[in-house]
Structure 1
């Protein structure tokens, strides 16, 4: 009897997703039932922006990756079914964004993500 292999989630896989030119590689890392919570200046901890499911997450990421900006994975730690990473982004006009994320993984896919982000003002 054979078992189905689960996708491997590691720092290199995440780097390829984050630093890609399109959102597709990053979207593929999410489970169908994933949840993403975003905390920033506009969506503070008591009322975070919450996206449910890969389709809602993909819509957000499609918008982000359609912008003229670069994405860099600064650091990543993966341990068992959890991961954490730092991403820095730069718009063409020089505006920078820094985000920190904590992930819960299941079978090599992201099931939960909490992201805190700060923008240049």
Structure 2
């Protein structure tokens, strides 16, 4: 995947997408061939969960946004063809989740993402 950025990354769309009630806006920020690597207690660094393409990413987002939970973009930093952001989430029962992501951008879209997440147990 290339790293050249032809247009800027829209952080306001990222905020609306994360804090929205469906994954549609967030999905619009991903390139068609995007890849997400997810690392958490179930998917260790040596065997991360890997999603390839917008179809698999859409399935994950649909699952997440069907849950009884809220999402908030805490921070976002964009520098050149990279961005990093922190997302906090809370389930209806009070369980909290924190996710940190580093992304590589191509033409203003997310081409690659590494997400590390942790949640209350």
Name the residue aligned to 2:29. Answer: 29
Q: Point out the structure with max Rg over C-alpha.
A: 1
Unpaired segments ≥5 residues, structure 1: 1-5
Name the residue aligned to 2:59. Answer: 59
Matching of residues 66-77 of structure 1 within 5 Å: 66-77=66-77
8 Å contact from structure 1 (residues 10, 78) kept in 2: no
Name the residue aligned to 1:78. Answer: 78
Matched residues, number? 116
Matching of residues 82-121 of structure 1 within 5 Å: 82-121=82-121
Q: Which has the higher contact order (CA 8 A, sep 6+)?
A: 2
Unpaired segments ≥5 residues, structure 2: 1-5
Task: Give RMSD over aligned pairs.
Answer: 1.0
User: Normalization by structure 2: what TM-score?
Assistant: 0.92
Name the residue aligned to 1:3. Answer: none
Extract structure 1 runs of 4+ deviating beyond 3 A: none
